[in-house]
Amino acid sequence: MAEMLPLENRRHRAGKTLSLIIPMHNETPVLDALFSRIDNAVSPLGLDLEIICVDDGSRDDTLANLERRALADPRVRILSLSRNFGKEAALTAGLDAAAGDMVVPLDADLQDPPELIGEFLTLWEQGYEVVYGVRADRSSDTTGKRLSANAFYTVFNFLSDRPIPASTGDFRLMDRVVVEALKQLPERNRFMKGLFAWVGFRQVGVPYARPERAAGETSWRYHKLWRFALDGVTAFSTMPLRVWTGIGLFAAGLALVYALFIIARVLLIGRDIPGYASLMVVLLFGTAAQLIALGVLGEYVGRMYEEVKARPIYMIQKKIGFPPATDGR
Ligand code: UDP
Ligand code: MG
């Protein structure tokens, strides 16, 4: 999958720092397994490590548990958000705080196996700026989630002029230049997968089998996924807005033909009283189409409102374990 890049692009890991960014929302049950897997898989890689845990307004023990770990382990850093802002915002907070030469966002539930980071690193050393995981085997997802994910990628990539590789998530290794590029994107609507693809750079995928959540339960619900999908599409395409011009022109054309037909008929045959059915069809279809068009407009206007307000993407309540030098936000 990975073509060889010219040798002058090579980098070396010696003396480099890796930042892991782990968004967490009610993840107490997985924390033991998470930290021991990180220790086993990432510590031997020969890098300095910082483990940035972003507590996204958890209502369980997550924060207290993390604080205990931070006392014992100087690599553990905690960003505690003031409430639940959602995974995308939590990731953004982590990216802003990360000091590493490379950064890897990781799900807390071990669905992004830390063991893969070694492979990511090898490709980074060959010169890639982004090495992303591709879910080769999604059998751990429910059929519904798989189908809806496939439908989403198809629609998204049809509409967007910046396609995202199918079956990728946030799990990836990014060079510092990519992180700096991401930090320049000011939008509130953080559809990270789309932003990751938008910034460009040399990217390569590594297939892996996505395991099931190690413990605890998912924070996603279907209505949230629907909003997420709309966020993605509206952030990367204006086609849903523009398509109505075409639909309108087409309908107007049809209406004109039909009008000519009616006029001709009245002139030739005379007045024709029945017409209830055709009237109703035109009326119902016409108003429904207008409502949909209005709704689509609303989706964009609502998001523009969010952007114009320009509120911060997240609020930090507490920062623990960060060295003073990188604390200057
Ligand atoms: N997450 C978060 N804030 C949220 C929802 C989820 O930080 O509002 C984190 C969660 O703790 C996990 C990651 O995002 O580390 C992925 O979430 P989850 O496993 O629940 O989603 P799924 O894998 O089912 O898509
Ligand atoms: Mg998960």
Q: How confident is the model at residue 308 (pLDDT cuts 50, 70, 90)?
A: confident
Does position 327 have pLDDT exceeding 60, yes or no?
no
CA atoms of 197 and 49, how far apart (whole Å): 26
Give the global pTM.
0.76
pLDDT at 168: 83
- For 152-296, strand residue ranges (E) read 168-175, 203-209
**Ligand nearest to the backbone CA of 141:** 1
Does position 328 have pLDDT exceeding 50, yes or no?
no
pLDDT at 92: 93
Does position 42 have pLDDT exceeding 90, yes or no?
no
Does position 4 have pLDDT exceeding 50, yes or no?
yes
| pLDDT tens, residue by residue, 73-123 | 999 999 999 999 989 999 999 999 999 999 999 999 998 999 999 999 999
Lowest average pLDDT, out of 15-24, 85-94, 199-208, 285-294, goes to: 285-294
**Segment 300-304 mean pLDDT:** 87
Instruction: Match 């108003």 to its residue by tokens.
Output: 287
CA atoms of 136 and 208, how far apart (whole Å): 5
CA atoms of 205 and 165, how far apart (whole Å): 9
Cα(276) to centroid(ligand 2), Å: 54
DSSP codes, 147-180: HHHHHHHHHHHHH-SS---TTEEEEEEEEHHHHH
Ligand 1 contact, 193 CB (< 6 A) = no
* Ligand 1 atom at minimal distance to the Cα of residue 106: 15
Neighbours of 126 (CB within 10 A): 19
Cα(87) to centroid(ligand 1), Å: 6
* Ligand 1 atom at minimal distance to the Cα of residue 107: 15
| pLDDT tens, residue by residue, 160-211 | 878 888 788 899 999 999 999 999 988 888 788 888 888 889 899 999 988 8
* Ligand 1 atom at minimal distance to the Cα of residue 213: 19
Which two tokens mark 300? 């964009």
Which two tokens mark 144? 């519904």
Going edge to edge, which strands form the sheet with 130-137?
Answer: 203-209, 130-137, 168-175, 102-105, 17-24, 48-55, 76-81, 316-320
Q: Which of 109, 148, 170 most suits a substitution to test ligand 1, by most atoms within 8 Å of the C-beta?
A: 109
**Ligand nearest to the backbone CA of 87:** 1
Does position 299 have pLDDT exceeding 50, yes or no?
yes
